[in-house]
Chains A and B, each alone.
Chain A
Amino acid sequence: MAAKGYKAAARRTLEHAPEVREAVTRATLHFDRNRERAYGEVEAEAWRDWAAATKRHTLSRLDRYLLEAERNLTAPGTEVHWAEDAKDAQRILQELVERYGVRRVVKGKSMLSEELGVNEHLERLGVEVFETDLGEYIIQLAGEPPSHIVGPAIHKGLEEIRALFHERLGTPPDASPETLAAVARRVLREAFLTADMGISGANFVVAETGTVVLVENEGNIRLTTSTPRVHVVFVGIEKLLPRARDLEVFLQLLARAATGQKIGTFVSLINGPRREGEPDGPEHLHVIFVDNGRTSVLADREMHEALSCIRCGACLNACPVYRQTGGHAYGQVYSGPIGIVLTPGLKDPRLAEDLGYACSLCTACADVCPVRIPLPKQILTWRVRSTKHAPATERLAFEGYAEVMTRPRFYRLSSKLLRLTAPLTGAPWLPVLGAWAAGHGALEPSPKSFREIWEEELDGA
């Protein structure tokens, strides 16, 4: 079996699937440039401050806002459920599937449903599931998880998607993107009109009004939440906003951060099941509030700000590490900077021992995050927490390093040693430098250290 973890997967991707690096780099640079332009058109700094403060406020009163949301959701006839973890969520979903005799489900893109294993569970129940976002549909056909929060299939180039559609749907091997999209539309249109249940996530839930808010560009989420007779919403407990007015900022900031648009092409503001006199819409609306590790993150004084995340993907797009491999190398639902910060908190702190180092600490993510999550700082905090499980050689190396660097005489001695041994061995006086040599060639110290130059030439000059 192949070695696990980011380190091994990243190496494999770079060695065996170089086309992923190319596709992901192109897509993320495109997203990031659009984001930069869109931030430049408005007072982005002030917007980000405002949004960050609103999110921090909401989280600091989360219990109150959850209850307010529950009250206002329930009033027009929406049923509210609570799930502590994936098993809980699956059980609730199973009850609903049985209650309504569901055979066919259409799904809008939802990262939370990936966390909860919704598709696998529905398939076990014999329910047919259609991912309806075009990117999600592509990776469902390919049997892969999403590799990016906003663009789930950005790791695939046009050629790969052509081949996939050719094999699975019989399109010509050189079909245009328009043709491919039209074929997907036909298949999924049929699914929309025959499904018994639509499943979506939620970008926001407004506590004041009990409104479920969804943002998208294709219209598949509007269809998912409008055509089947049952609509089920999975929503993380951190997705609340206090007031409807708050959406004014968040809808615009989310779109600008994610893709550089002014607003998502379709915004659904769902207030309840179909009302009397309305010609269509689902008769039953279920909202499932999911914890699945979020309360642990909330309790973590150094990580709780990560719950402000609005899943725009801007940190992934800005991340030069993410660009080399795409999201699959992280081996988790959430990848990129926010994935590194959230995953150990949601699942298992020991995941940070591997994920925490999938970062060069370049801080580009902090520059773009619309809700100012201190991602580099938090990634470093995970590293600090991980060092107690670090390999003995690593700990010894840093202890030795500190010994040398706090004793100027040792330091000067090492400096001389470096010059003596480097030409012979590629400078293995610290174990780390051996690894360096493989990708860079041997380190070449300056012929004389600065200290020597100073003493010979500059001192007293």
Chain B
Amino acid sequence: MPDARSRILQRVRRALEGRWPVEAPTRPWRPAVEETGAVARFLAHAKASGVEAHRFEGPAAARNWLEDWAAGFKNAAVSPLIPEALRPSLPAAPPEKAELGVSRALAAVADTGSVLLSSTEGRRLQLLPPAHLVWVDESEVVQHLGEVLGRLADDPPSALALHSGPSKSADIGQIMVQGVHGPGRLVVAVVRGLAELEADPTEPASTREAPSHTPKTTPPAALDWEAVHALEDHRLATKRGDAFTVEKVTENTAVVRVSSSNKTYTLRRRCLEKAARLASAGTPIPGPAAYRKLACNEAPAYAWAILHTLDLI
């Protein structure tokens, strides 16, 4: 006897029989681009939705602010992904007891004023404390929602979430109340150089200099971008053996196309360079998981394969 599944599918097929298939829209949908940069636009949109949004020129400035700001809390549940310098000096507490949850966002989206959070750091600390502080690296703020949705196709964690404001409800007589179930305060701090701080274990835990005034001294790139350019149109394989092609290399990105699914992924030069730098300094990057952890959470399988092909790791 056919089961519910086959009976439902059968009915769907019968319903569609003889019906002209409707094509998906061919013209890709384009969001409106506003004149301002992604970070300014993100901050404006987030603030409009009730987010307490801040921007810092460097980890030191962020740290300064954090010391004062966090003094108002008794304890905190802090994501393991947060570098030492940006962990509040508060006693640790489990999320259900903590007054403050601290997260590291994967990205922020200007269109909607959202931060993208991952279950890798734990979900309860994002939801149970009445206040939620989210750190995000300035370079991870993007204009459009579509730019972060690719992560769903890229071996995602069990849950990603977009948070775009404090928890709220107007279910009681249309009167807006905050902090109904989730955090009643969402604080987002955009920090320049946060990702570098995470990648560089030698940086002092709580630095007091003002790096915004001192010219940045980037160590010489261990990655020759010309070598990546040279890979254009080359067919490579991931560590697992999935074939892909380096389709296009621009000034700041490399686009790869996966042969089996025909999907494309964009790899950022900054991430590849970071991984190469770490490797040249002796950090082992044995596979995509390590690349993801040390460099970037975007298409690590393909990024790792490129660096491996170039004998950099």
B286 contacts chain A at the CB level, 8 A cutoff:
no
Q: A66-B9, A218-B169, A265-B166 are in contact. Are A248 and B146 (CB under 8 A)?
A: yes
Nearest Cβ distance between residue A238 and chain B, in whole angstroms?
A: 10
Contact of A245 among B21, B128, B146 (CB under 8 A): B146
Interface contact B156-A271, CB-CB below 8 Å: yes
Q: Are B127 and A223 in contact (CB under 8 A)?
A: yes
CB contact under 8 A between A281 and B168, given known A206-B152, A295-B8, A298-B12: no
Q: Is the CB of B124 within 8 A of A84?
A: no
Q: For the complex, is A370 an interface residue (Cβ under 8 Å from B)?
A: no
Residues of chain B within 8 A (CB-CB) of A47 are: 29
Q: Is there an interface contact between A267 and B161, defined as CB atoms closer than 8 Å?
A: yes
C-alpha gap A83/B150 in the complex (Å):
31
Contact indicator per residue, chain B 100-122, by CB within 8 Å of chain A (1) or not (0): 00000000000111100001111
Indicate if the CB atoms of A244 and B150 lie closer than 8 Å. Answer: yes
Q: What's the nearest-Cβ distance from chain B to residue A146, in Å?
A: 11
- Decide: B49 and A251 in contact? CB cutoff 8 A: no
Chain A window 181-199, contacts with chain B (Cβ cutoff 8 Å), 1 for yes, 0 for no:
1001100110011000000
As a 0/1 sequence over residues 5 to 30 of chain B, the CB contacts with chain A under 8 angstroms (1 = contact) are: 10111011111100111111100010
Given known contacts A252-B112, A281-B119, A135 and B169 CB-to-CB distance under 8 angstroms? yes
Stretch at the interface among A50-58, A435-443, A444-452: A50-58
A266, B12: Cβ atoms under 8 Å?
no
Asked if A209 is an interface residue, CB under 8 A from chain B, the answer is: yes
Contact yes or no, A223 B182, CB < 8 A: yes
Known: A278-B120, A295-B8. A272 touches B19 (CB 8 A): no
- Of A150-158, A371-379, A393-401, the stretch lying at the interface with chain B is A150-158
Whether A157 touches B173, Cβ cut-off 8 Å, given contacts A222-B127, A264-B164, is: yes
Tell me how many residues of A have a C-beta within 8 Å of chain B: 99
A99 to chain B, nearest CB (A): 18
Q: Which residues of B contact A261 (CB under 8 A)?
A: 49, 164
Q: Is A211 touching B152 in the complex (CB atoms < 8 A)? A: yes
Report Cα–Cα, A4/B48, bound state, in Å. Answer: 47
Do residues B169 and A299 form an inter-chain contact, with CB atoms below 8 A? no
Q: Enumerate chain B residues within 8 angstroms of A177, measured Cβ to Cβ.
A: 172-173, 175, 177
Residues of A with C-beta under 8 A to B7: 84
Nearest residue (CB) in B for A70 is: B5
Q: A272 to B160: give the CA distance in the assembly, Å.
A: 10
* A210 to B, closest residue via Cβ: B152
Interface residue ranges of A256-286 to B (CB < 8 Å): 261-275, 277-281
B68 at the interface (CB under 8 A from A): no
Task: Tell me the nearest residue of chain B to A26, going by C-beta.
Answer: B174
Nearest CB of chain B from residue A354's CB, rounded to whole Å? 26
Q: Residue A43 at the B interface, CB < 8 A?
A: yes
- CA A62 to CA B161, docked complex, whole Å: 27
Beta-carbon contacts under 8 Å, A161-219 to B:
161, 177-178, 180-181, 184-185, 188-189, 192-193, 206, 208-209, 211, 217-219
Q: Choose from A153, A159, A219, A291 the contact partner of B167 (Cβ within 8 Å).
A: A219
A225 touches B159 (CB 8 A): yes
Residues in B neighbouring A49, C-beta threshold 8 A: 25
Q: How far is the CB of A115 from chain B (nearest CB, A)?
A: 16
Whether A281 pairs with B123 at a CB distance below 8 angstroms is: yes
By the criterion CB–CB under 8 Å, are A220 and B153 in contact?
Answer: no
What are 8 of the A-B contact pairs (CB < 8 Å)? A158-B175, A177-B172, A181-B169, A185-B181, A223-B181, A263-B114, A263-B145, A281-B158
Q: Interface of B with A (CB < 8 Å)?
A: 3-5, 7-9, 11-16, 19-25, 29, 31-32, 45, 49, 80, 96, 111-114, 119-124, 126-128, 144-146, 149-150, 152-153, 156-175, 177, 179-183
- Given contacts A134-B181, A262-B164, A271-B160, could you give 18 more A-B pairs where the C-beta distance is less than 8 Å? A43-B32, A63-B9, A66-B9, A133-B171, A135-B169, A151-B170, A156-B173, A161-B172, A161-B173, A206-B152, A208-B153, A244-B149, A249-B29, A251-B112, A252-B111, A262-B45, A266-B161, A278-B120
